[in-house]
Amino acid sequence: MEVKEITNRDTDFAKWYTDVCMKADLVDYSGVKGSMIIRPLGYAIWENMQSVMDRMFKETGHENVQMPMFIPESLLNVEKEHVAGFAPEVAWVTHGGSEKLEERMCVRPTSEVLFCEHYKKIIKTYRDLPKLYNQWCTIVRWEKTTRPFLRSREILWQEGHTMHRTSEEAMAETLRMFNVYKTFQEDYLAIPVITGKKTDKEKFAGAEVTYTIEAMMYDGYALQNGTSHYFGNHFADAFGIKFTDADNTLKVPYQTSWGASTRMIGAIIMVHGDDHGLVLPPKIAPTKVIIIPIGDVQDKLRELENNLKDNNITYKVDDSNKSPGYKFADAEVKGYPIRIELGKRDLENNNVTVVRRDTLEKQVIEYNNIIPTINELLEVIQKDMYERAKKRRDSMIYNANTYDELKDIAKNKPGFIKINWCGNEACENKIKEDTTLKSRCLIEDEEVTGNCVVCGKKAVTRLYIGKQY
């Protein structure tokens, strides 16, 4: 009896995704429309992400703070491009208790304006710079249609907001944190990413430059998984933030912001998951090993548990009253990197069965050799998951040299397409209209020769385009 049946991934990817979210007990729907409940396994993955990223932020000199969650309407309105980008999708608080507020406030959709208001008070001289702050919090965007982790009215994320003496310093910070995201996603989530500048059309409301981390999902769609923005001094200007520089003149500081969210859990599911459910990269899996005892193996089980504890390997034991087959399926759907079948018969030969979640490969190994085997396997799985994802991604990146070719690939082959582009938003819009593909990011390390695939004018850049979540 397969208790946790999951839709086939190639038959209906969207339904497969929801099945994995629900059947791996990552999330549950709530009675609050558009908001989800993050269950223990989903939240433990987020906690691991937080812990690694937070360490990386602190190692690069950042400090955590906590701003208010509300933004008065007049404050949101200070920077014009910014408010235009966010006002249509915020939740408005109009009453406190039984009283109507004098001014309504939105729940933060992002916190640039709150940080700017604070920076105005605490930045006086160049000695106060840089200010390198980060905040872990929940933001709210009033989405019409929602999907677990990918698009939700409430989003758990971190947002870094920094202020710098010079534009060069701010740009260096923008790129530094962009690289932190890249390293984190490649090294910990085993997700190969495509990175680069957003086009002007796709950049963050109020930013001068947006760098994006784009990952390709199993179905060829892009998921924007983290962005790092350079603001110049747009906001600082609008907020009247000034500092006295060493030369005793008043100057306006330069600003960045950067954010990544629980969306990355969606990426893990859609890059690594399979027809059996979730597959967690060992480095981010809250529990590395699931032990399934078969028959009366109590003594060896205790011994193994102590052994794992002593070696700092996280584990769980499934000692429920279910059948081994049910337990195997449940271990698979929940994505534990390694399953140990601790069976009476195996143990009589001093053996134990170990199963890799990523390949479902079984091996019978010597019981005494279990710790080194697990440690080695965890490393191999992490590496193989990355390589496998990269191979698949690379096989789904295409070149389109003409507009017909572009349309043909867009129609028939899921994935990203590389094109020559003139830099004109009209061409970007036409592609979107004809194919639903949007710009992912500029390709900065490829030589540009030839013409824009849309209008035929001289190309100024190479560009990734693709469908997106």
DSSP 140-206: E---SS-BTTTB-SEEEEEEEEEEESSHHHHHHHHHHHHHHHHHHHHHTS---EEEEEPPGGGS-TT
Q: Is 222 in the site for a copy of itself (CB under 8 A)?
A: no
Of the candidates 194, 152, 135, 208, the one whose C-alpha atom is nearest the C-alpha of residue 30 is 152
Q: Residue 81 Cβ, how far from a copy of itself at the closest point, in Å?
A: 18
Q: Residue 123 Cβ, how far from a copy of itself at the closest point, in Å?
A: 12
Q: Is 140 in the site for a copy of itself (CB under 8 A)?
A: yes
Token pair in block for residue 76: 């949101």
Q: Is 223 in the site for a copy of itself (CB under 8 A)?
A: no
Distance CA(336)–CA(338), nearest Å, equals 6
Contact pattern for a copy of itself over residues 301 through 330, marking x by CB under 8 A: -------------------xx---------
Rounded to the nearest 10 degrees, the angle between the axes of helix 167-187 and helix 40-59 is: 140
Nearer to a copy of itself, 66 or 395 (CB): 66
Q: Residue 32 Cβ, how far from a copy of itself at the closest point, in Å?
A: 4
Q: Which stretch binds a copy of itself (CB under 8 A): 151-159, 253-261, 411-419, 445-453?
A: 151-159
Q: Which stretch binds a copy of itself (CB under 8 A): 62-70, 158-166, 295-303, 308-316?
A: 62-70
Q: Tell me, rounded to whole angstroms, the distance of Cα 43 from its chain centroid.
A: 14
Q: Looking only at residues 1 through 60 of this chain, which bind a copy of itself when binding is defined by CB under 8 A?
A: 28, 30-32, 35-40, 43-44, 46-47
Token pair in block for residue 266: 């969606």
Nearer to a copy of itself, 26 or 207 (CB): 26
Nearer to a copy of itself, 137 or 397 (CB): 137
Check: CB of residue 324 under 8 Å from CB of residue 297.
no
Distance CA(94)–CA(216), nearest Å, equals 41
Contact pattern for a copy of itself over residues 85 through 124, marking x by CB under 8 A: --xxxxxxxxxxxx-----xx-x------x--xx--xx--
**Which of 7, 52, 70, 275 contacts a copy of itself by CB under 8 A?**
70
Residues 6+ apart with CB under 8 A from 330: 3, 4, 318, 322
# of chain residues touching a copy of itself (CB under 8 A): 56
Q: What are phi and psi of 29, to 5 degrees?
A: -75, 155
Nearer to a copy of itself, 142 or 398 (CB): 142
Q: Is 154 in the site for a copy of itself (CB under 8 A)?
A: yes
- How many CA atoms lie less than 13 Å away from 412 in the CB half-sphere? 8
Check: CB of residue 6 under 8 Å from CB of residue 19.
yes
Q: What are phi and psi of 263, to 5 degrees?
A: -50, -35
Q: Residue 63 Cβ, how far from a copy of itself at the closest point, in Å?
A: 4
Q: Is 63 in the site for a copy of itself (CB under 8 A)?
A: yes
- Let me know the angle formed at the C-alpha of 278 by 274 and 283, rounded to the nearest 5 degrees: 115
**Which of 6, 156, 194, 284 contacts a copy of itself by CB under 8 A?**
156
Q: Residue 4 Cβ, how far from a copy of itself at the closest point, in Å?
A: 15
Q: Is 126 in the site for a copy of itself (CB under 8 A)?
A: no
Rg of the chain over Cα atoms, rounded to whole angstroms, equals: 25
Nearer to a copy of itself, 66 or 248 (CB): 66
Q: Residue 381 Cβ, how far from a copy of itself at the closest point, in Å?
A: 25
Q: Looking only at residues 230 through 259 of this chain, which bind a copy of itself when binding is defined by CB under 8 A?
A: none
Contact pattern for a copy of itself over residues 271 through 300, marking x by CB under 8 A: ------------------------------
Distance CA(406)–CA(9), nearest Å, equals 26
**Which of 1, 11, 59, 66 contacts a copy of itself by CB under 8 A?**
66
Distance CA(174)–CA(193), nearest Å, equals 17
Check: CB of residue 443 under 8 Å from CB of residue 196.
yes
Nearer to a copy of itself, 303 or 319 (CB): 319
Nearer to a copy of itself, 154 or 346 (CB): 154
178-206: b (≥16 Cβ within 10 Å) or e: bbbbbebbbebbbbbbbbbbbbeebbbbb
Nearer to a copy of itself, 153 or 467 (CB): 153
Which residues of this protein are in contact with a copy of itself, per CB under 8 A?
28, 30-32, 35-40, 43-44, 46-47, 63-72, 75, 87-98, 104-105, 107, 114, 117-118, 121-122, 127, 133, 137-138, 140, 142, 153-154, 156, 320-321
